[in-house]
Structure 1
C-alpha cells in the first residue's frame, strides 16, 4: 500500500481521490470540523481512520467508491 503525507485537508483529499490503495497521514493540526468532513466523506466510501502516535491516518485498502465530482 502506498503511504503519503498530507499537510492540508485539500492535499489529503487529492491523494484519496486517486482511487489507489493508499494510506494518507494527516500531518497537520486538523480541526474538529475538518476531521468530521473527511470522516463523513471518505468512510462511507470504504476508508478507515486510525490514530497514530502523532497524527491520524486515513487509508483505503479494499473496496473504493469514487467521488461523484
Structure 2
C-alpha cells in the first residue's frame, strides 16, 4: 500500500487519514513493524493537521484585525 506524502495533503485528507490510522491501530492484529509504520504516519499526520489549523487561525486573526481597523477608522 502506497500512502500519499503527508506534506501534500490538505487538512481534511490528513484528518481522514489520521482517523483511519487510529482505527487500524486500535483494531490490532498488526505486526510490530506495521504498527510502528502506522504510528509514525499518524504522528506526521497530526503535525500536518496542527500546522494547517495554525495557518488557518493566523489567516482568521489577520482578517479580523483588518475588519477591526476598518471599524476604528470608520
TM-score (ref. length: structure 1): 0.33
Question: Which of the pair has more CA radius of gyration?
Answer: 2
TM-score (ref. length: structure 2): 0.32
- Per chain length, whose mean CA-contact separation is higher, i.e. which structure has more relative contact order (CA < 8 Å, sep 6+)? 2
Bigger strand fraction: 1
